Amino acid sequence: MVGKGRSPPKQRVQLHGGCFRTGSLGEGRCADGSTPCGCRRSGIIEWNVWIKQSIATLTFGLDPELVTGVWEGGYNFFCQDTHSGGEADMKIIRVLWWYYFSKLIEFMDTFFFILRKNNHQITVLHVYHHATMLNIWWFVMNWVPCGHSYFGATLNSFIHVLMYSYYGLSAVPAMRPYLWWKKYITQGQLTQFVLTIFQTSCGVVWPCAFPQGWLYFQISYMISLIILFTNFYIQTYNKKASSRRKEYQNGSTATVNGYWFAESLHSSVQQLQCSK
């Protein structure tokens, strides 16, 4: 009870993501009675899933619009300038603006990694790819917002629908055992880079009014991504697959229905430790 002449302590209640906080200095509890750590993690995961699905939904809508604009403008696959498509150019510009906006949302991944303390995911590849894409597309939208710029964005939007759908599902622990197709997304990304180099090179061999400097820059940038993503693929899939085969032979890893659960088990243990 509060004695006479004493005012009750200030109480603070915050609701977010099925979580409430009450108390004078941050005593936090989740709605189900779990600890503050689990509460914060729950809210972060919810926002992370929302971001992933927002990007997947946004990029899913970009591809049909880009393909339609290219068809309507009679774009030349080998080389297309930035001023001969008429109204189709304006349509492409509007769609590519949303594509540029999606790069900003994607960059937020880094902040979610920090909040979830997934520092191992903040790699050179991750920072380089997301930071450079955001800046490069700022220049694209200011100087070459249509024409030959459409091709890479079209391929990238398709790959990102698959990739962010995967990441959104992977945030749900119950779905992780069924997500065996991550390496095929990386293969798709590498294929995208090679196709973009081929199409960009066409603009160099059969030039048009599209700035040649941008074409050479894009080829160089795609080569840098191929090097980094190939290294990631080798480190993530080839070496881990070899290591898991050895563990399996030693009887240290269990398999169920042909799927490996070592990574899922590690993630589950981390979540349990956080909720204690």
Coil/strand/helix, residue 157: helix
Residue 254 three-state SS: coil
Q: Is 131 helix (H, G, I), strand (E, B) or coil?
A: helix
CA–CA separation, 247 and 234 (whole Å): 19
Sign of CA dihedral 26, 32, 35, 40: negative
**HSE on the CB side for 68, CA within 13 Å?**
11
Spatial distance between the Cα atoms of 82 and 143, rounded to a whole number of angstroms: 9
In 53-72, which positions are buried (b, 16+ CB within 10 angstroms) versus exposed (e)? bebbebbbebbebbeebbee
| Catalytic site includes residue 129 | yes
The catalytic residue among 129, 130, 148, 266 is 129
Token pair, residue 166, equals: 């995967």
> Is residue 260 within 8 Å of residue 253, measured between CB atoms?
yes
Residues designated as active site: 129
